[in-house]
């Protein structure tokens, strides 16, 4: 996700009353990715020196869109979660 798109989406969420952090911190619970795989997000988290990434909900941008439509956070159902694919598990 490009910086200008990221800033636009963060501002939109804030205007709708969502708490959005500009930096990764202990208060972050959800990470939304657009055009990034599960493993790409995990690699990014490792680069941020995050020891336990299981505390985060790793979600596709479709979750954010659903939240904006509902005007509130929606459940992070499986359909929104970034998941490790079989090929990624085997290292392909």
Q: Are 30 and 56 in contact (CB under 8 A)?
A: yes
d(CA 84, CA 51): 19
**What per-residue confidence (pLDDT) applies to 32?**
96
Residue in 46, 54, 6, 60 with CA at minimum distance from that of residue 29: 54
Rounded average pLDDT over 76-84 = 93
**What per-residue confidence (pLDDT) applies to 79?**
95
Instruction: Sketch out the chain's domains with CATH numbers.
Output: 1-14+28-77 (3.40.50.10190)
**What per-residue confidence (pLDDT) applies to 91?**
54
């Amino acid at each position: 996700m490009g910086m200008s798109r990221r800033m636009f989406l963060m501002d939109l969420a804030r205007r709708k009353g969502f708490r959005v952090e500009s930096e990764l911190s202990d208060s972050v619970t959800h990470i939304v990715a657009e055009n990034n795989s599960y493993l790409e997000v995990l690699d990014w988290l490792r680069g941020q020196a995050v020891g336990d990434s299981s505390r985060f909900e790793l979600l596709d941008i479709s979750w954010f869109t659903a939240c904006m439509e509902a005007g509130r956070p929606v459940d992070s159902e499986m359909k929104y979660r970034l998941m490790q694919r079989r090929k990624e598990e085997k290292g392909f």
